[in-house]
Amino acid sequence: MKKKNISILGSTGSIGSQTLDVIRRNPNDYQVEGLTVNKSIEKLLEQINEFKPKSVAIFDDTAYQDFLDIVKTNQSTNPNLSQLEVYKGHEGLIKIASSKTIDILVTAVVGMIGLLPTVEAIKNSTTIALANKETLVTAGKIVMDLARQYKAKILPVDSEHSAIFQCLNGEDSNKIDKILLTASGGPFRGRPKEDLIKVSKSAALKHPNWSMGQKISIDSSTLMNKGLEVIEAKWLFDVEPEDIVVHVHPESIVHSMVQFEDSSVIAQLGCPDMRVPIQYALTYPKRIDSNFERLDLFKIASLNFEKPNLDTFPCLALAYRALKEGGSTATVLNAANEVLVEKFLADKIGFYDIPKYIEQAMDEHSFIDRPTLDDILATDAWTRDYIESILG
Ligand code: NDP
Ligand code: MG
């Protein structure tokens, strides 16, 4: 059988590296066509030497120039570099994503920077293995409408959405009663609000069950990650906000569930390992063998579920508000959150400044009921400027 051609936006990150591990384990099924990074050119070089892509893109300008120097110095001795196409910046990401020869684009960049490359790939009817949740949060309606128009499959990589997708396999999606979206609760589950006011970024980065990139780790600590996932679920599965019910489940074993109209609930379970949903997105509709850790329910013994505390974690309530308002509000929520997480990681603001300024931006923005792609880009830019103008 012909190998599938895969390109990865964000190949050096947590999801990108785990995608390459799945490919490494299945060399007869997949080959890598394009890889993109922001700055990690050393890691990119290792990936080039192992996976021999045809093209790469580097977002950061200095890193791009440094990389060109490396290519120039080494291309006569390294055959992996001699034919390599190297692109720069956002345009470079779009160039990699819009290649007509790729079968699956894995979107594993962090942030709405993934939006336009994903849109271009969809226009070629390329299958998208979607990890980059900010794309659907900021422009869910546009992306899903385009995917329908161009008959491009959007296969979820996020573990919860992969679980829901698997629960819906062979089911009639009209019969969904509720989506029961699980959440680990993050590192601050059960802690009172007073404890979290001065919480440090290193404490926020310590996720109990998953090892992930910095941005999603902070999002998990505020529960914004779950808020983004509620919005992502709305667009992927076309359910109303009140029918997406977050269940805090500290063991992260049940990855999510679907309740159907006859009252049956179907769940997908497994050890917390992102390579499982990544592999499923690559092999869909097939399953293939893996030696990933098997679930031992005797060892786990009990599974617990609790309601999220929206007072301690207001970001989740803000995401529901954005979803209910519709229009451009989720774009504001996402952009404000991206900027504020960066500021929290730079020790410039406190933990509760994140929801505070997101809410302020949502209140202040000029609402657009049916935003176009240009409206979304303008709203995103307005929000970033607005937050900068307050915080400097
Ligand atoms: P990481 O921070 O680990 O990796 C991000 C990747 O994107 C890196 O390759 C990085 O390159 C690249 N990148 C960052 N900024 C830019 C930019 N401006 N332009 C181009 N490339 C850029 O993130 P994760 O892998 O954790 O997350 C990726 C996405 O997947 C996010 O949307 C996240 O919410 C989602 N996701 C992640 C999960 C996880 O377990 N990690 C689970 C479910 C969803 P460089 O190395 O050079 O910085
Ligand atoms: Mg998730």
349 and 291 housed in the same domain: no
385 and 299 housed in the same domain: no
Domain containing residue 349: CATH number: 1.10.1740.10
Q: Following DSSP, what letter does each residue of 37-65 receive, concatenated?
A: ESS-HHHHHHHHHHH--SEEEE-SHHHHH
19 and 121 housed in the same domain: yes
44 and 145 housed in the same domain: yes
pLDDT of residue 318: 98
The ligand minimizing its distance to the Cα of 137 is 1
Question: In angstroms, what is the span from residue 10 Cα to ligand 1's centroid?
Answer: 6
Question: In angstroms, what is the span from residue 184 Cα to ligand 2's centroid?
Answer: 9
pLDDT of residue 212: 93
User: What is the best residue among 110, 161, 205 to mutate for testing ligand 1's pocket, by most ligand atoms within 8 Å of CB?
Assistant: 110
Ligand 1 close to Cβ of residue 160 (< 6 A): no
Question: In angstroms, what is the span from residue 216 Cα to ligand 1's centroid?
Answer: 8
Residue of the CA atom closest to atom 40 of ligand 1: 212
119 and 99 housed in the same domain: yes
Domain end call among 264, 299, 321 = 321
Q: How far is CA 254 from CA 78, 95, 163, 167, 229, in A?
A: 46, 38, 8, 12, 15
- Please give the number of the atom of ligand 1 that sits closest to the Cα of 274: 40
293 and 343 housed in the same domain: no
- Which CB contacts under 8 angstroms, 24+ apart, belong to 111-119? 111/215, 111/338, 112/137, 112/138, 112/139, 112/334, 112/335, 112/338, 112/380, 113/59, 114/9, 114/10, 115/139, 115/143, 115/376, 116/90, 117/9, 117/90, 117/93, 118/143, 119/143, 119/146, 119/373
11 and 146 housed in the same domain: yes
Domain end call among 156, 180, 214 = 156
Domain containing residue 120: CATH number: 3.40.50.720
Residue of the CA atom closest to atom 23 of ligand 1: 213
Question: In angstroms, what is the span from residue 37 Cα to ligand 1's centroid?
Answer: 9
Ligand 1 close to Cβ of residue 16 (< 6 A): yes
| Alpha-helical runs (H) found in the chain | 14-25, 41-51, 61-74, 79-82, 89-97, 115-123, 133-150, 159-167, 193-196, 201-204, 214-222, 224-237, 275-283, 297-300, 314-325, 329-345, 353-364, 373-391
Domain end call among 272, 288, 321 = 321
The ligand minimizing its distance to the Cα of 223 is 2
152 and 165 housed in the same domain: no
Ligand 1 close to Cβ of residue 110 (< 6 A): yes
Question: In angstroms, what is the span from residue 213 Cα to ligand 2's centroid?
Answer: 12
When computed from its CA atoms, the radius of gyration of the chain, rounded to whole angstroms, is: 21
pLDDT tens across the length of the chain (392 residues): 799 999 999 999 999 999 999 999 999 999 999 999 999 999 999 999 999 999 999 999 999 999 999 999 999 999 999 999 999 999 999 999 999 999 999 999 999 999 999 999 999 999 999 999 999 999 999 999 999 999 999 999 999 999 999 999 999 888 999 999 999 999 999 999 999 999 999 999 998 888 899 999 999 999 999 999 999 999 999 999 999 999 999 999 999 999 999 999 999 999 999 999 999 999 999 999 999 999 999 999 999 999 999 999 999 999 999 999 999 999 999 999 999 999 999 999 999 999 999 999 999 999 999 999 999 999 999 999 999 999 97
Question: In angstroms, what is the span from residue 3 Cα to ligand 1's centroid?
Answer: 26
The ligand minimizing its distance to the Cα of 252 is 2
149 and 279 housed in the same domain: no
Range(s) of the domain holding residue 359: 326-392
Tell me the whole-structure pTM to 2 decimals. 0.98
User: What is the best residue among 8, 15, 61 to mutate for testing ligand 1's pocket, by most ligand atoms within 8 Å of CB?
Assistant: 15
pLDDT of residue 211: 87
Question: Quick one: tokens of 270?
Answer: 């497994």
User: What is the best residue among 47, 107, 109, 161 to mutate for testing ligand 1's pocket, by most ligand atoms within 8 Å of CB?
Assistant: 109
228 and 346 housed in the same domain: no
380 and 367 housed in the same domain: yes
pLDDT of residue 100: 98
Question: In angstroms, what is the span from residue 8 Cα to ligand 1's centroid?
Answer: 11
Ligand 1 close to Cβ of residue 37 (< 6 A): yes
208 and 309 housed in the same domain: yes
Q: How many domains does the chain have?
A: 3
